[in-house]
Amino acid sequence: MEHVYTRLVTLLGDKFEVAADLIRPDATLGDLELDSLAVVELYVTLQEEWGVPLDDSEAAAELTVDEVARSVAELLDADRASGATP
C-alpha cells in the first residue's frame, strides 16, 4: 500500500496543488480543500492511473488520504488475486 499512498501524495501535490505539509494519512480530502468536483476528479485520475474500478459515487470529502489509498490498494490486491493484473 505504501507505493499507492506515495503516488497519491504526489498526485495531490502536483495535480491538485495541495501543500505537502497538509497531506497526512488522517487528513480528509475536505481538510485538503478539495471540493466535490475535485474529489471526483481525483477518483477518476486514480482509476485511470491504476486501472482499478473505484466507485466515484463513493468519493466524498470526508474520506481520509489513508482511506483512499487503502481503497486503491485493496482493488489492486483483488485484481492480482484474480489474475487480472499482470
pLDDT for position 58 = 85
Q: C-alpha cell of 51?
A: 486501472
Give the model confidence (pLDDT) of 30-41 as tens digits. Answer: 999 999 999 999
Q: C-alpha cell of 84?
A: 487480472
Which of 7-11, 37-41, 58-62 has the weakest average pLDDT?
58-62
Please state, in angstroms and rounded to a whole number, the distance separating the CA atoms of residues 17 and 57: 23
Confidence class for position 84, pLDDT limits 50, 70, 90: low
pLDDT for position 4 = 93
